[in-house]
Amino acid sequence: NAGVMQNPRHLVRRRGQEARLRCSPMKGHSHVYWYRQLPEEGLKFMVYLQKENIIDESGMPKERFSAEFPKEGPSILRIQQVVRGDSAAYFCASSPSPGSPLSTDTQYFGPGTRLTVL
Amino acid sequence: AQSVTQPDIHITVSEGASLELRCNYSYGATPYLFWYVQSPGQGLQLLLKYFSGDTLVQGIKGFEAEFKRSQSSFNLRKPSVHWSDAAEYFCAVGKDTGFQKLVFGTGTRLLVSP
């Protein structure tokens, strides 16, 4: 069973460009979480999505950041007009639907995308 | 609001020696507690978790952690450290089953000396 997949693993953008980060959850998982890890810090929650729904985006910056999890395909975290302060590692995690027979109340993390803004 | 404190930024342990990594949390109700390990350039791997029941929790790779409500702590331990344990360790707290908006500590970097 493949784990959570993220691509690209490394992404370099110039200030003002757009960054698109992709996350494919584990098979059988319908919930996706995005976290950001700034240098020398712990992970900070950004957004929680299920298919076609944003459940909680309380950790998302108000501007330039958006996330989606369409019915088909991976979850996308989009950062418009990137700035140097967006340089970080972005981690995706997935879990089964709460209350499902598969539910383990545990998030499984992908390897992350390291975004560098020049 | 929930918070997690990992007071040690770096710890160096000799190979074969015992290890204890500290984690203190702040949360009004019964917390859901996790320890994750992150190897360089990798994602986070779950070591163990505590939801309820026995306060001493066994995890993978020989790790264990003890939940102490009176001290608001969830310290990670291993009796004999291996060089491959060198990594960054994160303690995290969630508030409920199901949807877990995890709050992470800032991490402790473990160095293992020969």
Over the stretch A78-103, which tens digit does the pLDDT of each residue have? 999 999 999 999 999 998 876 666 65
pLDDT average, residue stretch A57-68:
94
pLDDT at A100: 67
Instruction: Flag if A91 and B44 touch (Cβ within 8 Å).
Output: yes
A103:B51 CB<8 A: no
Q: Which residue did the predictor score with more confidence, A86 or B27?
A: A86
> What is the Cα–Cα distance from A86 to A70, expressed in whole angstroms?
24
pLDDT above 60 (res A34): yes
- B111 touching chain A per CB within 8 A: no
Residues on chain B touching A6 (C-beta within 8 angstroms): 43
Q: Identify the band that residue A30 occupies on the pLDDT scale cut at 50, 70 and 90.
A: confident
Residue A98: per-residue pLDDT: 64
B14-20: average pLDDT: 97
Instruction: Work out how many CB contacts closer than 8 A connect A with B.
Output: 67
- The pLDDT value recorded for residue B40 is 82
- Subunit contact B104:A42, Cβ cutoff 8 A: yes
| B72 touches B62 (CB < 8 A) | no
Cβ-defined contact of A106 to B46 (cutoff 8 Å):
yes
Of the candidates A74, A88, A66, A73, the residue with the CA atom closest to the CA atom of residue A11:
A88
A76 vs A71, higher pLDDT: A76
pLDDT for position A17: 98
Of the pLDDT bands very low, low, confident and very high (cuts 50, 70, 90), residue B45 is very high
**Site from B32, B44, B49 to mutate, A interface, most A CB atoms within 10 angstroms:** B44
Residue B106 has pLDDT above 60, yes or no: yes
* Chain B: residue whose CA lies nearest to A5: B43
Arithmetic mean of pLDDT, B6-28: 94
Contact A41 B36 (CB under 8 A): no
Output the pLDDT for position A41: 82
Among A58-67, A83-92, A101-110, the least confident range: A101-110
Task: Return d(Cα B27, Cα B101) in angstroms, integer.
Answer: 13
Give the pLDDT of residue A90: 96
Query: Which residues contact residue A100 at a Cβ distance below 8 angstroms, ignoring those fewer than 6 apart?
Result: none
**B101–A contact, CB cutoff 8 A:** yes
Inter-chain touch B49–A106, beta carbons under 8 Å? yes
Exposed/middle/buried for residue B63 (C-beta within 10 Å: 0-12, 13-18, 19+): buried
- Asked if A115 and A90 count as a contact pair (C-beta separation under 8 A), the reply is yes
- Give contacts of B 48-67 with A, CB under 8 A: 49, 51
